[in-house]
Amino acid sequence: MHIVTLTTDYGSRDYHLAALKGALLVECGPLHLVDVSHNISNYNIVQAAYLFRNAWPHFPKGSIHLLSVNDLDSPNKQFLALQHEGHFFVGPDNGLFSLIFDPLPEQRFFVSNFASEGYPLRRIFADAVHRIIRHPDPAEWGQPAGEIVRRLSFHPVTQADQIRGTVIYVDNYENAVINISEELFQQIGRKRDFQLFFKRHDPIVRLSRHYHDVPVGEPLCRFNDSGLLEIAVNQGKASTLLGLQVDDTVQIHFPGAPSKSES
């Protein structure tokens, strides 16, 4: 049975998600449908890219991944099918895939044009999945896609002794995820002490491995399992308690001299 994952901004209140699943089952027969997330903020492809980028590698090869976020942001919307590392991906050509993959997979094809065909979204996705199942060779899917829509992601700003980053996501526990990777932190920090400044709060001056490394109710910073810095509160809600929201800026200072082994 084919695995099909679903990542959308549909929510669970309306009928759209159920209608999509129904169309997939009618068109393709028995499928193992897996919900990645349907609680993405409406039209927020940056949030969708972060969630999906950290989910899809954990699925077995041969999985088909559907992404339906901000699908109709232009009257001539194209839909893409991509193949990458034994997985298949279907979604709108709105820049989402450029935020997920770097570089973009070479195997990419246009599978539908909403404006010219007039299909509802569920029909577009059901047709695409059916085509992939019947024809695993990407050349059978549709027209090769050359240049597709690209969106620039925000990168941290670095200097010799500091990094300025941005909150890119607030998770279900209200931990604030920052676009600063552990690799970049180590590259700039070079084993120096640091001060993490955000809002008007006292700086955080040590990395934690676990949330319980600090007393209950105390703030901390750590690298999460996706390798990005996060600000959290042990058994608390960092976003609410510390006033951290998406697009807020944080700054890390490394005031000391680098260690001799790193200089």
Using H for helix, E for strand and C for coil, what is the string for 183-221?
A: HHHHHHHCCCCCEEEECCCCCECCECCCHHHCCCCCEEE
* Among candidate residues 71, 225, 92, 70, the one with its CA nearest the CA of residue 149: 92
113: β partners: 78
Q: Where does the pLDDT of residue 158 fall: very low under 50, low under 70, confident under 90, or very high at 90 and above?
A: very high
Same domain, 136 and 186: no
- The mean pLDDT value for 110-121 works out to 67
Q: Provide the pLDDT for residue 144.
A: 85
Q: Give the pairing type, strands 228-233 and 107-113.
A: unpaired
What whole-number distance in Å separates Cα of residue 90 and Cα of residue 123? 13
Same domain, 164 and 136: no
User: Is the model's pLDDT at 174 over the cut of 90?
Assistant: yes
Q: Are residues 98 and 166 in the same domain?
A: no
The whole domain housing 177 covers 157-253
- pLDDT bucket at 258, cuts 50 / 70 / 90: low
pLDDT band at 152; cut points 50, 70, 90: confident
Looking at the fold, whether 173 and 246 belong to one and the same domain comes out as yes
Q: Is residue 127 part of a domain?
A: yes
Name the pTM for this structure. 0.86
Same domain, 108 and 229: no
pLDDT at 263: 44
Are residues 9 and 104 part of one domain?
yes
**Residue 112 sits in the same domain as residue 184:** no
